[in-house]
Amino acid sequence: MLRDAGIVSDRREGLWIHYRINPELPAWAREILNTASRANATAKPFAQDRKRLRGAPTRPPIRCCA
């Protein structure tokens, strides 16, 4: 849904699909996403999800700011 709405773009690498925020989003939309991200950074279940993802043995290395 996010890809169809133009909020994220994706690329496939083997079995993995990598998503990123669409670089063509207007500044106001990026600010909304940044505010939501900051507001939920330590909230359950989001913080738990980040911790589990970091420990996933088959996860490709992080190449950006994720």
- Is the pLDDT reported for residue 65 higher than 60? no
Question: Given this model, what pLDDT does residue 46 score?
Answer: 81
Most confident by average pLDDT, 31-35, 36-40, 62-66: 31-35
For 22-59, b/e burial (b = at least 16 CB within 10 A) is: beebeeeeeeeeeeeeeeeeeeeeeeeeeeeeeeeeee
* Inter-residue contact 20 to 9 (CB < 8 Å): yes
Q: What is the pLDDT of residue 23?
A: 93
* Backbone angles phi and psi of 38, in degrees to 5: -65, -40
User: Bridge-partner residues for 35, per DSSP?
Assistant: none
CB-neighbour burial class of residue 18 (10 A; exposed 0-12, middle 13-18, buried 19+): middle
Share of the chain above pLDDT 70, in %: 88
What's the predicted TM-score (pTM) here? 0.61
Of 44 and 19, more confident:
19
